[in-house]
Each structure stands twice: as C-alpha cells, then as structure tokens.
A and B are shown apart, each in its own frame.
Chain A
Amino acid sequence: MTHQIIMAGFGGQGVMSMGKILAEAGLKEGKNVSWLPSYGPEMRGGTANCSVIISEEPVGAPTVTEATAAIVMNRPSLDKFEKDVIPGGNLFINSSLIDKKATRTDINVYYVPANEIANDMGSGKIANMVMLGAYLKVANAAKEDTIMEYISEVFSGKKASVVPLNKEALKRGADCIK
C-alpha cells in the first residue's frame, strides 16, 4: 500500500508540521517516505500545502496528483484539492472552518470539527493533530504509538508538557470517526 497524502490549509495551521510528523513516523516504521512542501512567497494566513508519501516500495514521483487522502484545513484547500483524491480515497474536512460539504460522491468524506475540539482542549494550535488523529484512525499510514514516540523525542525537557496534549488531540480526532 502506498499512501499519498495532500495536507493543506493556511499558513500557521501546522499543515507542514503535520506532514513532517507523519513522514517521520513512517520512516521510524522502516517505510519509504517523502515530504514535498509547497514553497514560495508563503506567509501566515496565505495558503500552504505539502505532499507526503509513505510506501513499502521505493517512492517514485514525490509529487502527489492522485491522492489516497487529502486533509483540508480551510475552504480554499477543499476547493483546490477535492478533485485530486482517487475514487475510493479519503477526504478529511476541518468542519470548524469549512461550512461547505464535499461535492464528490465516489470518495469517503469525514467531517472533523478540529478547531472546536482544539479550543475545547485549551490550545487552538493543536487542531492539526486532531485532524491527524482522525486520518490515522481511517488509514494505517503509521501507528499512533510511532507518532507519539516521535513527538516525545521532539518535545523533551521543558517542552515535555505538550506531549500528553498531543496524545489527547490524536485520540479526540480518532473519536470523530465512527
């Protein structure tokens, strides 16, 4: 199975970090991975996206044009990337900020109120991890334990306090998937 994921939102929503965390976890599990960011005159509030590939096979093109999943954090990202999901693929919509429904009927669509959940947890910044939790529940691109292992490595010492918050965010996201 080759997971080809597009993650998109506006600058500051943590879509680049979300992609990197997933790629790092894939690597930890011994898979082949790539992470390709959109780059350019990006700024906070502008649009940002990254393409992540996790595969047992060597990664071919690092570009994702036929996504097995798309995670969209804001409305422009839904408009831009809904068409790139393959039939039968998964689309994760941040329903806190996107009031529109998906138009495709040949894909699985999951609505996750990521910002509401994150705010409820006391940190709006963690919305990306809520979305990632929802994604991981559906697609087995990486194990939650591996994600947490990586996060514990990154946030050590004084920053270790955010580790349980991340774990909780992944769980709350996963709980959105019925």
Chain B
Amino acid sequence: MARELWKGNEAIAEAAIKAGCRFFFGYPITPQNEIPEYMSLRLPQEGGCFLQAESEVAAINMVYGAAGAGARVMTSSSSPGISLKQEGISYIAGAELPCVVVNIVRGGPGLGGIQPAQSDYFQATKGGGHGDYHLVVLAPDSIQEAVNLVQEAFDIADAYRNPVMILGDGMIGQMMEPVEFVGVPKRQLPEKTWATTGLRGRENHNIINSLFIDPAVCETHNQRLFKKYAEIEKNEIKVEEYNLEGAEIVFAAYGTVSRIVKNAIKALEKEGIKAGLIRPITLWPFPKANFLKAADMPSVKAFMSVEMSMGQMVEDVELSVKGKKPVYFYGRTGGMIPTPKAIVEEAKKILGGAK
C-alpha cells in the first residue's frame, strides 16, 4: 500500500481496527474527537461496536467489561477526560485486563486549554489512579510511529494482561502526515482462558475482580504484578538514540518535542556544538540504562530535558543519570510549543556556564 496523508487521530483509530480492535467506548473532548468520530463510522462496518457513553467514567467501565470478556477494546480521551477515567484504569490494572487507552494531551491543570501539551507525564507513568500499578506508556513522535505503536499496543496488552496507554499530544492528533499501514509483526499470544465468556464446558467459572480483602492475599497479588512489571521492564523498552557520538549536551525529549529538538540539534551543529538526543518511546518502562550509559560518556557535559510541561520527565532523567552529570530543564506549557531557536539558546547558556 502506498503512503497516504492521514490525520493523526483518524490514523490511530484505523490502526486500532487493523489490530483487531472491535469495541470502542468514549466520550467527546478536544483535541481527540476524530478518534471516536472515525470509530463510529468504521466499527459498525467491521461488525464491531462503537458506543458514546454518558460519561468518561461509564466509558472506561465499559472497557473493563469488554476486556474482561476477552475482546480487543480501546478508549480515547484528552487530559481532563483521562483524569475521570483513572479509577477504572486502576481497576483494570488490578484485575489484569488488556486494553488500550489513548490520551491526546492538552494543556492543564483543570479544564486547561485545548492546545498540545505533555503535562500528563506523571499521571501516565506514575500511576494516575490509586494503588501500586503501572501502565505501559508509548509515546509516538509521528503519525507513522503512532500507527505502528497502536497496533503493537494491543499485542503488548494481551501478552502481559495489562492496560497500555498511547500518550500523544494535540499535534499528533491534529496534524496530517504520510502513513503506510505496514503490518506490525504479530506476537505469539496466550489464549484468553481467563475471559468471562460463559462456562463452555469448563468445570470452574472465571471470575474477574480487583478486590483482595485479605491483606496477605492483596500483598501477594501486588508482588505478582510487580514480577510482571519487571518482565515488561526487561523486554519492552523502546528508545531512539540520535547523534550521541561526541555529544557535549544530550537532550531528553519524547513525542513531537523530540522533532523540534532534532531541528535544534542541527542548528547547534552549524554553530560547531555537538548535541545528541535520547528519545524514550516507552515512557514506562523508562530507558534508564541509555541515560546512564550516556552519562558515562566523557564528551557529555550535561543533559537537558525539553518538554511541553513545567518539568516532569526530567525527574526520570535525573534518577537515571544518578548525579553523574548535571541535568537541566527547558519547557513550555499550557499549549505553548517550544521553538528550535529557544532550545538552541538554552543549550548554549548551559554549555557556556559549564566551561
């Protein structure tokens, strides 16, 4: 299939359908409305079910139900709507069910604005709901990568029985780029013998629950979850390293911001300054080892996290670098987008100071 121009939100929805998603429950919010709009058209054509729920809370609990029955199911929203879904996401993580949640992030806190932001990093990676749990969080930097990651997200969710979040921003949702719907390699997945689809000749019926009233049992459940998370950390880290060789300064950026940083890196190169980038594609699990390795490079004088937030991922960068090199931050927030020029100036300030 040739490359076609696709709008991010619609491409994400089509990718989900191509991955076998047949159920979508959502509630409208800008800037992700084209996802439910597209699903409402396409899912009935595929024999699936699109339902606009009465609220985000209802939508995520419908996801819980469909996931429990073993279906491939997705919901999408934007920041305030994702906040409303957190209780359900925690239940789904606790009950160990696979699903995909898309957050096309807008400026916050509160109702905030509708322009692109990355200020939901903490919420996505540190557990936005209650309890000890993790989502796998995937952050595409282009529409093509979004399409590939959405398809893989369903496999990751099924492989580990865990919710997976796609964390984009308003730019990923709204812009158009060439896309090719290439088949993402399918994983060998275990059969969903746990699904609540009726006895079907089995002796014991399946029960899906996140209630563990006996503290000892609840602790064991948590420990088991964390064994699973350790497996995910071992197997699922995705990261792009760009221009690291000989770099004096290493940027950390994810999603669309990483592309702005790449422009800044080219501009710095013209001024004789070598700069590199580590782009986490999985925000959880975080590519700690890549940062630690870069921190040990003699050429590297400093790190700088560039985000559309007041500084969230920078904390994971600091934890990963373990104090070996200074870590700086530059960010715009509330829907403002950093410019390559501003990033170049910040980098020069830091390197000037370090000399």
Whole-angstrom distance between the Cβ of A1 and the nearest chain B Cβ: 15
Q: How far is the CB of A88 from chain B (nearest CB, A)?
A: 17
Please name the residue on chain A nearest to B266 by beta carbon.
Answer: A60
Pairs A–B under 8 Å by Cβ, sample size 11: A20-B5, A34-B176, A35-B177, A36-B174, A36-B176, A39-B170, A59-B177, A60-B260, A60-B340, A61-B259, A65-B340
* Contact B263–A34 (Cβ < 8 Å): no
How far does the Cβ of A60 sit from chain B's closest Cβ, in whole Å? Answer: 4
Cα distance, A34 to B260, chains bound together (Å)? 14
Asked, given contacts A33-B177, A34-B175, A60-B266, whether A39 binds B5 with beta carbons under 8 Å apart, the answer is: no
State in angstroms the CA–CA spacing of A41 and B33 once bound together. 13
Residues of B close to A36: CB separation below 8 A: 171, 174-176
- Measured CB to CB, the closest approach of chain A to B271, in angstroms, equals 16
Cβ of B128: which chain A residues have Cβ within 8 Å of it?
A: none
CB of B94 closer than 8 Å to a CB of A: no
Contact yes or no, B259 A35, CB < 8 A = no
CB-nearest residue of chain A relative to B265?
A60
How distant is the Cα of A59 from the Cα of B262 in the complex, in angstroms? 10
Residues of A within 8 A of B175 (CB): 34-37, 62
Size bracket, chain A contacts: 20 to 34
Contact of A39 among B114, B259, B263, B337 (CB under 8 A): B114
For window 308-349 of B, CB contacts with A under 8 Å fall at: 337, 339-341
Count of A-B contacts judged by CB separation below 8 Å = 62
Q: Is A24 an interface residue (CB 8 A)?
A: yes
Residue on A with the closest CB to B143? Answer: A34
Q: How far is the CA of A71 from the CA of B135 in the complex (A)?
A: 44
**Chain A 21-61 interface mask (CB, 8 Å, partner B; 1/0):** 00110010000111111011100000000000000000111
Chain A positions within 8 Å of B340 at CB level: 60-61, 65
How far does the alpha carbon of A4 sit from the alpha carbon of B177 in the complex, in Å? 14
A108 at the interface (CB under 8 A from B): no
A66–B339 Cα distance when bound, in Å, is: 10
What is the CA–CA distance of A41 and B278 in the complex, to the nearest angstrom?
35
A63 within 8 A of B: yes
